[in-house]
Structure 1
């Protein structure tokens, strides 16, 4: 065992002890954070406009601060982007994380001197809690790869701007720098396919022990490694690769193919980072729930998903949540986001400590007929049947077909890229449809009532989703394929890739 691995164990034990102090008192930690956030931002333009000086508790806060998405907060963000200080948060941001918006075009998410360290600490602690629980630390002596966006930053009115993953690359601790790949020269390559090819060349002969990234793009890296090595499994190429860290999407649809590519089962850590804040991470290999970071500069609010589109939805603090209820996540951060709807839906799996699973996106659903099917339900239906049948899925998405030809009933149209397809597609489709009916009573009623016909699966060509993302200029990085759409925009484009 190398020196880094030896030293990491007492460091991990200390970090876990620090975490336990707030982990077991999360509600109290949240109350302190709310008051600190309000106090620190009281003299900002937003704080003055929303009477922060009058806020003494969460009830006061809800009266003065509305729930809003980026579009609602944009007039304030635009002032910050223009170079004005003390608008949403004290002073000016350290960075803007640049993300793609659907209605707002490019979004500029502020990162402050207070919020940036929380991103780094959370990523570090996710690894340290793993070391402390498992005792496995040898991986810190090998090479680690983080598939991420370019670290090249631009400036806007004196503030550095880039993708979150590229910004984080500038804050990797010194003790990890020598272990970290790819090189800066490779990391700045813009074209994703060219970049992955360069990463393969740089890493194929290295002792890679930890690999991190969004699962579909890690899979692309694995495919190219295997091709370059003459068809070897990843475990044959990297004999000491034993830890995979991922986030951004549900891993389950990709698990079977990634494990097949690796050639063995390995430990994994799920994380929940976002440009708006690092929200949660998996702190135990025995539990898939993610520990909600209740002491990381973010005050969380939760709106029951079926309330979200009401004029005055119910807003709950951490103390008021219930298990297994679908909530829309609302953030208030130490970078100046207030009542901010991040767009994700979560469920609590535990309240001692508070742990969550991400269930989807509030805008990603199908309710063309009032069924309100969500991502968690379609993923469960497809993967349950796929696992039973030995079918392997590469990627998929679902959309409604409201106006089918030949006067047939409408249906849900599933676009699936299989790496190992079912022998009997009709039988497979029927099983998936029944599984979805069991998960969603409204869908069940529509099928039984003759309003909808059972779902139809369209088999897509190999690499269909990669080629689609490439055609949209969204290959790689933090880009993801939506599981569900309530319109036909994506579905109509994927029609070109049907087998």
Structure 2
């Protein structure tokens, strides 16, 4: 990056701010007629991809309306599109999109298997970049000092690769945070805040799979900087950071004093900073980000689903006045909602990005499921998300469930509530959202707080839901018993299927065990140490895998 493109160059900052605010303004302007925008997106994707194999098979050239599109193309998930995607990944052209994919994003999905999400230049230009720039508007508008110097932002998700893995056709198969959008798609302004920090590209060779060591090295360098903002997207990454500080504290301080990085000479020794950090450690039982970064202003991550249970208190560990801004409601496959203001949890539907359809979340999706448009959504209801865009995904059920928070400027504002996967040991059909809301109500009724939660069904011949919670403070035996009873009550209120299963004796009452306060952060670190990219180690509420459950709930020696 030359001096004119450097993050601190005034011209670069001016151009970046102009682009961010212009994209937000364009999106807001599109809210005046969402139906017209949907038709425009539909007509564009049909015309552009009419001659592809998929377009020919589904007669795109004859489709004119959304109703025609619904009749021609079934609702489908990744498994249904996978044969088409694999053909494109092997190098065949004109399969799903007239534009050849330039890269394939990875996505862990609900099964943990690595999907190949085709990413075309046309998709990036018309679908991705407009929403992507707009997503940064609240941060840049209200906290302009995060652009004051390159090291003002600790971007936890940024993880560039010198030699990325590829598909059979030689295209990179990586996470979105591992792609240089400037080089790959000709968008130099697209570099995120924090990607110009001196730790963004590590100055020493590290095994690409050594994710935990890379996180340590960046944290060690950031401990000498004036960090104002932390970007995580995945909130589990931000929740792990205070724990990592304490886990690696002695090593961090020693390396700062010695001027080393990973045990190798790096910069001039900094005994003054090391001494200041040691004084902090003597004053505080536990080191917090707020102690070493007193000018912290904002966190940027998903704020709903599981994170809603621990983020309010976690935010305080970064500083008493820190704001949490919600990351977009989006997946590797495409965007759904983006926060254009400081709403704590919801984002406006990105009407310019895709043809969005929705279906009642309490009804499992099928190829012929009847869908709703944005204008038909009701506040306070949960919906499956189905979208189609010019990049080659058609009536694609992304597997996310959103809740309509309200309607502003002509479009719904949406909150991510969890995955659409159902837990049904006895026909109860529980979703993440049911369990999260039951947990939230039960904790609110008792005044108790947690750092993390997981649950599974267990027991024979009659199963029941067993919860594992990491308390923020110690629970008394009476509080634990009351919370357990309330969980059962609120689950029945959230889910008619759960209520009937309990009433008919097909499910036993909930049970509860308490873990160590940092059990979920320890489990996160263990998963990353095993070779999983940090962005893909997300909060998982429902955990039926016996080995994963044992790893979480077995005390560390």
Question: What is the TM-score normalised by the length of structure 2?
Answer: 0.79
In the TM superposition, what is the alpha-carbon distance from 1:258 to its structure 2 partner?
1.6
More deviation in 316-325 or 238-247? Answer: 316-325
**Alignment partner of 1:446 is 2:501:** yes
**Alignment partner of 1:292 is 2:292:** no
Pick the aligned partner of 1:413 from 466, 471, 474: 466
In the TM superposition, what is the alpha-carbon distance from 1:43 to its structure 2 partner?
0.6
Contact 1:332–1:339 (CA under 8 A) maintained in structure 2: yes
Instruction: Tell me the distance in 2 between the aligned counterparts of 1:172 and 1:401.
Output: 52
Pick the aligned partner of 1:122 from 106, 131, 134: 131
Matches within 5 A, 1:216-227: 216-226=236-246
Secondary structure of 1:107 counterpart: coil
Pick the aligned partner of 1:57 from 65, 71, 84: 65
Instruction: Tell me the distance in 2 between the aligned counterparts of 1:436 and 1:74.
Output: 36
Pick the aligned partner of 1:479 from 524, 534, 537: 537
Secondary structure of 1:366 counterpart: coil
Tell me what 1:313 maps to. Answer: 369
Alignment CA distance shift 1:498-1:175 (3 Å): closer
Tell me what 2:272 maps to. Answer: none
Contact 2:211–2:529 (CA under 8 A) maintained in structure 1: no
Residue segments in structure 2 that go unaligned for 5+ positions in a row: 1-7, 250-276
**Alignment partner of 1:254 is 2:310:** yes
Contact 1:6–1:137 (CA under 8 A) maintained in structure 2: no
Alignment CA distance shift 1:181-1:483 (3 Å): farther
In the TM superposition, what is the alpha-carbon distance from 1:397 to its structure 2 partner?
1.5
Pick the aligned partner of 2:34 from 6, 26, 35: 26
1:150-183 deviation line (CA, Å, top 9, x unaligned): 3212333132221121125656626957743632
Pick the aligned partner of 2:98 from 90, 93, 99: 90
Tell me what 1:366 maps to. Answer: 423
1:25-62 deviation line (CA, Å, top 9, x unaligned): 22211111011111110011100011001101011111
More deviation in 156-165 or 35-44? Answer: 156-165
Tell me what 1:281 maps to. Answer: 338
Aligned CA RMSD, in angstroms, stands at 3.1
Secondary structure of 1:206 counterpart: coil
Pick the aligned partner of 2:88 from 80, 83, 93: 80
Instruction: Tell me the distance in 2 between the aligned counterparts of 1:241 and 1:172.
Output: 27
Tell me what 1:207 maps to. Answer: 226
Pick the aligned partner of 1:195 from 214, 233, 236: 214
Secondary structure of 1:330 counterpart: strand
Instruction: Tell me the distance in 2 between the aligned counterparts of 1:323 and 1:208.
Output: 38
Pick the aligned partner of 2:43 from 35, 44, 64: 35
Contact 2:223–2:292 (CA under 8 A) maintained in structure 1: yes
**Alignment partner of 1:145 is 2:145:** no
Contact 2:450–2:472 (CA under 8 A) maintained in structure 1: yes
**Alignment partner of 1:348 is 2:365:** no
More deviation in 29-38 or 286-295? Answer: 286-295
More deviation in 47-56 or 206-215? Answer: 206-215
Question: What is the TM-score normalised by the length of structure 1?
Answer: 0.88
In the TM superposition, what is the alpha-carbon distance from 1:328 to its structure 2 partner?
1.3
Pick the aligned partner of 1:243 from 276, 282, 298: 298
Q: How many residues align?
A: 491
Instruction: Tell me the distance in 2 between the aligned counterparts of 1:355 and 1:419.
Output: 31
Tell me what 1:466 maps to. Answer: 524
In the TM superposition, what is the alpha-carbon distance from 1:265 to its structure 2 partner?
4.1
Instruction: Tell me the distance in 2 between the aligned counterparts of 1:48 and 1:6.
Output: 45
Alignment CA distance shift 1:445-1:477 (3 Å): same
Contact 1:254–1:394 (CA under 8 A) maintained in structure 2: yes
Pick the aligned partner of 1:338 from 383, 390, 394: 394
Q: Quick check: which one's strand share is greater? A: 1
**Alignment partner of 1:155 is 2:135:** no
Alignment CA distance shift 1:247-1:309 (3 Å): same
